[in-house]
């Protein structure tokens, strides 16, 4: 994944854990101070949503059938989903720009 700022081409470092939760998908470039937006690919969105649905389904079946094996399956699905996104970033989305420039104007 290409983590460079679309305005100044400086690499934007990854955020600390305390800064990862964002209400808006907009951040400020530390070098040029321009506001950029996260560019989320459809495949990323699909993987996250399908992984979440699979975890909920496996956990519901584990609860319904009172099965420890199905609870382990739910945990395994969660771990698989957590590993899928970094692998996707390094293979399929290698040249995908993580950030896109947006206008400084605010909507009324």
Beta carbons within 8 Å of 39's beta carbon, 6+ residues apart = 96, 97, 98, 99, 100
Q: Is the pLDDT of residue 19 over 60?
A: no
| Mean pLDDT, residues 47-56 taken together | 94
Distance of CA 107 to the CA centre of its chain: 25
CA distance to 38, 77, 83, per residue, from 96 (Å): 11, 26, 19
Lowest pLDDT segment from 14-23, 35-44, 69-78: 14-23
Residue-range domain boundaries for the chain: 1-40+94-108, 42-92
In tens, the pLDDT along 85-99 reads 899 989 999 999 988
Q: What is the mean pLDDT of residues 14-22?
A: 59
Task: Compute the average pLDDT of residues 78-84.
Answer: 92
pLDDT of residue 46: 93
Average pLDDT over residues 33-51: 90
Length of the chain in terms of residues written: 108
């Amino acid at each position: 994944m290409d983590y460079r700022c679309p305005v100044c081409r400086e690499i934007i470092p990854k955020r600390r854990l305390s800064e990862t939760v964002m209400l808006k998908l907009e951040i400020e470039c530390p070098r040029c101070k321009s506001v950029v937006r996260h560019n989320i690919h459809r495949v990323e969105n699909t993987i996250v949503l399908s992984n979440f649905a699979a975890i909920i389904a496996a956990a519901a079946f584990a609860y319904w059938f009172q099965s420890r094996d199905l609870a382990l399956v739910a945990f395994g699905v969660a771990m698989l989903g957590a590993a899928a996104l970094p692998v996707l970033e390094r293979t399929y989305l290698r040249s995908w720009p993580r950030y896109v420039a947006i206008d400084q104007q605010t909507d009324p």
